[in-house]
Amino acid sequence: MHPVLRSWRNELPSNFVRLLAYLGAAAVLSTAAARLLQSPKPMNDISPVHQSEWLEVDRPFPAFALTIPEAADVPANYAIFRHLSGGRKDVLTLGETDSPAPFLQVQIYRPGDEIRDFETPAKEIAAEAAALAPTDIVLEAEPLDSKFGPLAAVTFATSAGAQRQCRAFVGSYSDPRLQLSGWFCQGGAPIERATLACALDRLTLLAAGSDPKIGALFAKAERHRSYCGQRDPILAATPKYELLWKALANRPQPRRIGR
């Protein structure tokens, strides 16, 4: 074989490998250049992840109680929400959230640094009851007389879910810094003022935690407790609640057999 042909044949594998290496390097360089020259994506295309400032506490330890014996078999719930800036909301509910049957919600709000001042009663109720889409919000001229003192009374109707008429309440205190609010709803006619006051009569404190001023507030409220309109705690220690939970009071009683 001619020496020139023999030399080309021996060098073919090494030349082929070098050619592949050159082609691979060129491909890498072109890809890198394309990435560098590509215009960056606008920041608007990135959807931020929304994190609520209020977080619900797992397995909450109740600090308050809403005891209504007549409604013992009605769904009840206790939830605690904490704000990233230190606020705390204890929310007690009794009844079905979306039903024409009576539904009661009471909230005890102890703010942290997330707010400076409380809103007006009508704005507070509109914000808290936003899930019910409240309409016809009216601040009543006369405050609601309760064991916690006079509370602002607000009426509204729901436009989301079951159609209900509601009477709400809002009371704010500076020492301790606390807001008491909530509403009592039912289908048909609005809840009577005396019925709402009777429900608040049953709100009691279980544990004041590290704030003795809250204990003092509830102790003072107990001294003004009306026992749902029956002032004497001895004669009316266990009052009846027919007016407080009408849906249960109107249930037919079982027939008695014998004496």
- The residues that bridge with 77 in the sheet, in sequence order, are 93
pLDDT given for residue 246 in this prediction: 54
User: What integer pLDDT is reported at residue 16 of this predicted model?
Assistant: 55
Would you place residue 118 in the very low, low, confident or very high pLDDT band (cuts 50, 70, 90)? Answer: very high
Q: What is the pTM of this model?
A: 0.73
Residues near 133 by beta carbon (within 8 Å), at least 6 away in sequence: 158, 159, 160
Six-digit token pair at 242? Answer: 């027919």
SS3 157: strand
Sign of CA dihedral 101, 231, 224, 122: positive
Tens of pLDDT, residues 205-231: 998 777 899 999 999 999 998 888 776
Half-sphere exposure of 124 (CA within 13 A, CB side): 23
Residue with tokens 């849906």: 247
Hey, is 18 helix, strand or coil?
helix
Dihedral sign for Cα atoms in the order 228, 230, 233, 237? negative
Alpha carbon 45 to chain centroid distance?
Answer: 31
| Pick from 123, 62, 112: nearest CA to 84 | 112
pLDDT of amino acid 17: 53
pLDDT of 167 above 80: yes
Q: Would you say 187 and 134 are in contact if contact means Cβ atoms under 8 Å apart?
A: no
Q: Give the least confident one: 29-43, 67-81, 116-130, 178-192.
A: 29-43
Question: Which residue has better confidence, 30 or 41?
Answer: 30
What's the mean per-residue pLDDT of the chain?
A: 81
With cut-offs at 50, 70 and 90, classify the pLDDT of residue 250. very low
